[in-house]
Structure 1
Amino acid sequence: MNRVGPLLVVAAVLLVVAGCTPSPVPPPSGRWLPRPGVAWQWQLDGRVDPRAEVPVYDIDGFENGEAEVARLHRDGRKVICYINAGAWEDFRPDKDAFPAAVRGRANGWDGERWLDIRRLDVLRPLMERRFDMCRAKGFDAVEPDLLDGYLNDTGFPLRTEHQLAYNRMIARIAHERGLSVGLKNDLPQIRALVDDFDFAVNEECAQYRECALLTPFVEAGKAVFHVEYALTAKEFCPESRRLGLSSMRKNLRLDPWRQPC
């Protein structure tokens, strides 16, 4: 949930016609492709509460097991596996597999440090194992968090090209396993990466007047799963509906409470 300065793109709003979204081209593998505007639930605080009446759930891949995913599937839901792809976490069971050399500065969240995403040779097998876990538990897709380290003070000299290479590697890892994958934040690289990812996940684009930047995903017939924490639903939902986003208000700790548009 790191932030950079606001990116104001007014002209992009003109590219979206209210209520009209193009039909998506099915992915070659037949993997799930969520459509713009589909309702969702995002819960990362503990084991999943299955009572939200929505077709898509995004839940923690480590904290939830095969049984929780299967239950959601029985209820007709698609399930997204949250994992951290951009930071080391000292509370995960695979924490010791990450060499100290790839752990950078703290990112503001307890127990987390930025990863040196230039080290594809080190990080690829570690991420492959995490994605294998998601697939083994039956998830339909993956939400890899913190795909924008190059915009932050990580302790490493990361550049745009490093992030593009890493993010595309992440997308390939997912697709090789038949999983859909979402681009998390990283607004400046959306146009470069929209063809590599199957949906987007965004935090607080309305707060920072950036939601129009997500238009390429909607134009491609791909969902944008969006949350706000500080703004009221009345403040952001009208624009979200115009842009075709799947928007809701959530508590910052991402517990079961939700207020959808």
Structure 2
Amino acid sequence: MRSWLAILVLLTGAVVAPPGASAASEPTLPPTGTDVDYQLGGSGPLPAHVGIVVRDRGARPSSRAYSVCYVNGFQTQPEERSFWRRHLDLVLRHGGRPVVDEAWGEWLLDIRTADKRRRLARIVGRWVAGCAEDGYQAVEYDNLDSYTRSKGLLTGRQASRYASLLVGRAHAAGLAAAQKNRAGWDGTAVGYDFAIAEECGRWRECASYVSDYGRQVLVVEYRRKDFRRTCRHHGARLPVVLRDRALTPHGVHAWC
């Protein structure tokens, strides 16, 4: 007979510690009153005023700044297509071909069924555990609003259910979890701890994130005029960085 724990994991896909096991440490939130850098295109030195950095899971965390591990949880990394070809049933397809986020050349993952969401969460969960082992304090799951680019195949409800599993994986590893984009949806309902908002100034969405997360919002802008507007309205309370879209180490950098 299966134990209650096994049944719970089977039904929900959740990460549950057995009775008597030590729980993961409480996640640490990003510090406030400091700046953020977004370094997905390669790691570089951090100015003294930058106390938060986001880096790809293949990079090392900073030795002095609060480090957020970037993990593609809803889409694939372009360079990892060989891996996903071995798990092609977990890739969203239309007419037999993978559905692509054209802006980044990434395949969308198929989160339409509970079984696929659980299987994907197990794969992504292993990467998250690696982030924790490397010394990161948090994880950013890209990209919660991927369903809006799915040709109508995915829904917001499916994304929310999958997000809940991913947040559980982060917390089980002792990491804080960042909601990436999807303004207007309160991710705290599924346990997200803070938000990372791309171009919220451009789309006039920053206040929406603030209403859900207060000062726990990290903002990335890619156009200088949007950056200036965001700084004017939110720079006194939120860390805002201007970056080039390639996010290269020596590319565009500016702070409020």
Matches within 5 A, 1:1-261: 29-46=25-42, 48-53=43-48, 54-62=50-58, 64=59, 68-69=60-61, 72-73=62-63, 76-92=64-80, 95-96=83-84, 99-104=87-92, 105-109=99-103, 111-118=105-112, 119-152=116-149, 154-155=150-151, 157-190=153-186, 192-193=187-188, 196-219=191-214, 222-232=215-225, 233-241=227-235, 244-256=237-249, 257-261=252-256
Q: Which runs of no fewer than 5 residues in structure 1 stay unpaired?
A: 1-27
d(CA) in 1 for partners of 2:104 and 2:66? 30
Return the letter of the residue paired with 1:151.
T
The alpha carbon displacement at 1:109 in A equals 4.3
d(CA) in 2 for partners of 1:212 and 1:157? 29
Q: Percent identity?
A: 26
Residues 192-217 of structure 1 deviation map (CA, whole Å, 9 limit, x = unaligned): 53661111001111111111111234
Return the letter of the residue paired with 1:202.
A
The alpha carbon displacement at 1:172 in A equals 0.7
The alpha carbon displacement at 1:240 in A equals 1.4
Q: How many residues align?
A: 220
> Which secondary structure does the structure 2 equivalent of 1:87 belong to?
coil
Residues 115-144 of structure 1 deviation map (CA, whole Å, 9 limit, x = unaligned): 112321320111111112211211111111
d(CA) in 1 for partners of 2:204 and 2:105? 30
Residues 230-250 of structure 1 deviation map (CA, whole Å, 9 limit, x = unaligned): 1334332111135x2211211
Return the letter of the residue paired with 1:215.
V
Return the letter of the residue paired with 2:247.
L
TM-score by length of 1: 0.76
Contact 1:88 1:98 in 2 (8 A): no
Name which of structure 1's ranges 178-187 and 29-38 shifts more when overlaid on structure 2. 29-38
Residues 73-131 of structure 1 deviation map (CA, whole Å, 9 limit, x = unaligned): 2xx31111111011123413872475212212010145511111232132011111111
Contact 1:204 1:227 in 2 (8 A): yes
**Higher gyration radius (CA):** 2
> Which secondary structure does the structure 1 equivalent of 2:202 belong to?
coil
* Change in CA separation of 1:260 and 1:90 when aligned onto 2, cut-off 3 Å: closer
d(CA) in 2 for partners of 1:79 and 1:165? 26
d(CA) in 1 for partners of 2:173 and 2:133? 10
TM-score by length of 2: 0.77
> Which secondary structure does the structure 2 equivalent of 1:115 belong to?
coil
Residues 150-188 of structure 1 deviation map (CA, whole Å, 9 limit, x = unaligned): 222x25632222111111111110000101110000113
Contact 1:79 1:139 in 2 (8 A): yes
Q: Which runs of no fewer than 5 residues in structure 2 stay unpaired?
A: 1-23, 93-98
Structure showing greater relative contact order (alpha-carbon pairs closer than 8 Å, 6 or more residues apart): 1
* Change in CA separation of 1:110 and 1:209 when aligned onto 2, cut-off 3 Å: closer
